[in-house]
Chain A
Amino acid sequence: MKTDIILCGVGGQGIISISAVLGIAALEENMHIKQSEIHGMSQRGGSVQSHVRISSNPVASDLIPLANAGLILSVEPMEALRYLPWLSPGGWIVSNNQPFLNIPDYPPVESLMQEYKSRKNAVLINADEIASRCGSAKASNMVMLGAASRFIHLKPESLMHGLEKLFAQKGSSVIDLNLKAFDAGRQASVAL
């Protein structure tokens, strides 16, 4: 059993936390894992990606080969499309539909949505709004993890446990907020 995930977004949007939760959960389920990350302030405001490979067999390459990722998990709609060459035939895109506007030539949002409409396996949700309803827009990354969780070969309980561990030092209100966000994301994705 194996899940190869391209995680992407814009620097500062919290994909490192998503990656960390996946790591803890995979470890808990005794899976093999490799996650290749982007570090450093140099990426601030730029596009960032992380390759996450979870498998019951040992993982060789830290990078996912082209056309091999079963899932693109994105916290920004244009960024998801940037990594399409990695998506396997029939693989899923799960993305936030809220654009992060920090460049002058960002394409019209309708043209992005047109791209998504032409694809079968895409789940687009408004993670910012869902997160705000849960208590803080900052938790939109965990909304996205929740939404993507049904395409990941890990139990939702392990992911939620991972999330608790990651935020353990931040106190119970932060943990509850993020658990709520995770759950709301999962519900939203199932409802589609």
Chain B
Amino acid sequence: MEKMLLLGDEAIAQGALDAGISGMYAYPGTPSTEIMEYVQACGSGVHALWSANEKTAMEEALGMSYAGKRAMVAMKHVGLNVAADPFMNAAITGVNGGLVIVAADDPSMHSSQNEQDSRYYGKFAQIPVFEPSSQQEAYDMTRDAFDLSEKYGVPVLIRITTRLAHSRSQVESRTPLPQRSLHLPEEPLQFVLLPALARKRYKRLLALQKEFMESSEHSPYNLSILKTGGKTGVIACGTGWNYLNEWFPDGDYPGPVLKLSQYPLPVKQIQRMFDQSASILVLEDGYPLVEEMLNGIFPVNKHIKGRLDGTLPRDGELTPDLVASALGFPVNEAYHIPSVVVPRPPSLCNGCSHADLYLALDEVMKEFGKGKVFSDIGCYTLGALPPYNAIYSCVDMGASVTMAKGAADAGMTPSVCVIGDSTFTHSGMTGLLDAVIENTPVTVIISDNSATAMTGGQKSHATDRLVEICKGLGVSPDHIVTLVPLRKNHQENVRILRKEILFEGPSVVIFQRECIQTSARRHKKN
């Protein structure tokens, strides 16, 4: 087969296409976005459209699995928080057609609010987890994950990190499989989690744990190399394996090594290397999941080295240099960064609509004092920085609306929030309903650039629908206003925004102007 040069994300997408998926479901989120984008570009005959959020994506994929077809759902790590309810329960219902979930973690928080480790979710749901070390493995594991999912009738989680997601390398593909045909579950009540039925399904999941363990013990992706020598044994998880090989190419590390890429932990393999090692070094990206399990509650009589004992930093992604010093190699920079170099943080584009919104908002809020504007996640979060200094929160998708409501409940006036259009349809709408029900005095500013700009300008569910959505939620039509954020409208925008902020009930001000990046791209095409 021809070798392709693929991102880790793309290798997963190609693996899923070749495994015969009928549906790809996702909400954009760095570093997972390119999985869906690849399926959209290369997967003819596969349903591949963005969902409103990760929860709806997960449920849609589960529905496709119910109907007997293979489906994949992908998201960034924090997306799995949003989808946690269907995720946990899908482990209990089990699947019909193969269901594979991809969670892309972001250790070092290159573009995220935290660096949570999705392997814990896999353990929490008690399902098999794959953690590829290379683009080729990402492809192969995705194919195998679908088989495993159907063999045991459970969803399978693939956990990747930014480094693999956004790194390109050669991938060889295998013969593609055709899509599955529609067939409903054999057991008609499989998906009914009424307590009496759920207890049975749960016992089934528990009984499968032994098999998942066996599958890990014999997995081609978990590799024991038991060289003796009483040296420090190394457990290298996912891409940690690459960093070990960087310093010991061709597997010439002088002590026992376990390459770990499939969970649950293969206990027997670990036991064998444990017996042959004086101490153990764990190389894992993210949280010290394996290290913590090896340590247990009471100290073992072996030194376990990793992120907990300070051999590696407790936070941030692994690098070849961190692994070098953990292995005892000196790390010497030849040159240092000269003092003339200054940071160059990302900034709003010239001509960005968010900028004109913040100019207007700052002018209005001058009279009310600082600290009364909540916000959310997107390009517009840059409004927290100079020159705007306009917003005071960025927590999780949709939280600006609900935090503004909570602060208003506490008596803070005015209580304002700024949310992007895509974030609003992801998770802002339900919070606005809370405010409508209680007639809470909050002003929800939707900065509508008609795109999901932060992640590359994907289509937004909100486009051309915001006014209708807000009306439908029960906001008074008199207090849904649409403004165009342009310099020439500044005075008028300030006047209307002030009026709505002073209104003592829920109001929505939509600042609508297309993202200049998507607009430029559209004009180039035409």
CA distance A41 to B451 in the complex (A): 12
Q: Which residues of A contact B341 (CB under 8 A)?
A: 78, 81-82, 107
Collect the chain B residues with CB atoms within 8 Å of residue A103's CB. 342, 344-345, 347
Check if B170 sits within 8 Å of A35, measured CB to CB.
Answer: no
Most chain A CB atoms below 10 A, which of B5, B110, B239, B346: B346
Q: Once the chains bind, are B30 and A42 in contact (CB under 8 Å)?
A: yes
Contact with B along A38-78 (1 / 0, CB 8 A): 11111111110000000001111111111100000000001
**Which interface class (under 10, 10 to 19, 20 to 34, 35 or more) fits A?**
35 or more
B347 neighbours in A (Cβ, 8 Å): 44-46, 102-103
Contacts A27-B5, A45-B349, A46-B346 given; indicate if A33 touches B31 (C-beta within 8 A). no
Q: Does B207 contact A (CB under 8 A)?
A: no
CA distance A58 to B168 in the complex (A): 13
A33/B30 in contact, CB under 8 A: no
Chain B residues, CB < 8 A from A58: 249
Distance of A146 from chain B, by nearest CB (Å):
21
CA distance A88 to B333 in the complex (A): 8
- By the criterion CB–CB under 8 Å, are A41 and B517 in contact? yes
Alpha-carbon distance between A89 and B336 when the two chains are bound, in angstroms:
12
Inter-subunit contact B169/A59 (CB<8 Å): yes
| Contact, CB under 8 Å: B454 / A39 | no
Q: Which residues of B contact A27 (CB under 8 A)?
A: 3, 5, 170
B164 touching A111, Cβ below 8 Å:
no
With a cutoff of 8 Å between Cβ atoms, the chain A residues found around residue B169 in the complex are 32-35, 59, 62
- When chains A and B are docked, how far (Å) is the Cα of A59 from the Cα of B135? 12
Interface residues of A in 1-37 (CB under 8 A from B): 10-11, 19, 23-24, 27, 32-37
Chain B residues positioned under 8 Å from A66 (CB to CB): 321, 331-333
Q: What separation, in Å, do the CA atoms of A107 and B343 have in the docked complex?
A: 11
Interface of B, helix, strand, loop or mixed by DSSP: loop
A65 touches B246 (CB 8 A): yes
Query: Is there an interface contact between B33 and A39, defined as CB atoms closer than 8 Å?
Result: yes
CB-based contact B111/A61 at 8 Å: no
Q: Which residues of B contact A111 (CB under 8 A)?
A: 340
The B-contacting residues of A in range 65-118, CB under 8 angstroms, are 65-67, 78-79, 81-82, 84-85, 87-89, 91, 102-103, 105-107, 111-112, 115
Residue in A35, A61, A65 whose beta carbon sits within 8 Å of that of B168 in the complex: A35
State in angstroms the CA–CA spacing of A11 and B111 once bound together: 14
Q: Closest CB of chain B to A91's CB: distance in Å?
A: 8
A47 to B341, CA, bound (A): 12
Contact with A along B335-360 (1 / 0, CB 8 A): 11110111111111100000000000
Once A41-B454, A107-B340 are accepted as A-B contacts, the answer to whether A32 and B170 lie under 8 Å apart by CB is: yes
* A71 → chain B closest CB, angstroms: 14
A66 CA to B247 CA in the complex, in Å? 13
Contact A84 B336 (CB under 8 A): yes
Within 367-384 of B, Cβ neighbours of A (below 8 Å) are at 379
Task: Among B163, B245, B321, point to the contact of A36 (Cβ < 8 A).
Answer: B163
In the complex formed, the residue of B with least CB distance to A119 is B335
By beta carbon, the residue of chain B nearest A23 is B5
Residues of A within 8 A of B457 (CB): 41
Of B333, B337, B338, the most chain A CB neighbours within 10 A belong to B338
Contact of B338 among A10, A79, A102, A115 (CB under 8 A): A115
Contact between B243 and A81 (Cβ–Cβ < 8 Å)? Answer: no
Asked whether, in the complex, the Cβ of A40 is within 8 Å of the Cβ of B344, the reply is: no
Q: Which chain A residues lie closer than 8 Å to B30 at the CB level?
A: 39-40, 42
Q: For A57, give its contact among B249, B332, B379 (CB under 8 Å).
A: B249
CB distance from B456 to the nearest CB of A (A): 6
Verify A35–B456 contact, CB threshold 8 A. no
How near does chain B come to A99, taking the closest CB pair, in angstroms? 11
B168 and A34 within 8 A (CB): yes
22 CB-based A-B contacts, threshold 8 Å:
A19-B168, A32-B169, A33-B5, A33-B169, A35-B168, A40-B31, A40-B456, A41-B379, A41-B517, A42-B30, A45-B344, A45-B346, A45-B348, A62-B169, A63-B319, A65-B320, A66-B332, A66-B333, A79-B344, A81-B341, A82-B341, A107-B340
- Given A27-B5, A45-B347, 17 extra CB contacts under 8 A: A10-B344, A11-B346, A23-B5, A35-B169, A38-B166, A40-B30, A41-B454, A45-B348, A60-B242, A61-B242, A62-B163, A65-B320, A78-B340, A79-B344, A81-B338, A85-B337, A103-B347
Task: Point out residues on A near B: beta carbons under 8 Å.
Answer: 10-11, 19, 23-24, 27, 32-47, 57-67, 78-79, 81-82, 84-85, 87-89, 91, 102-103, 105-107, 111-112, 115
Which 4 pairs of residues, A with B, have the shortest CB-CB distance? A46-B346, A60-B245, A62-B167, A61-B246
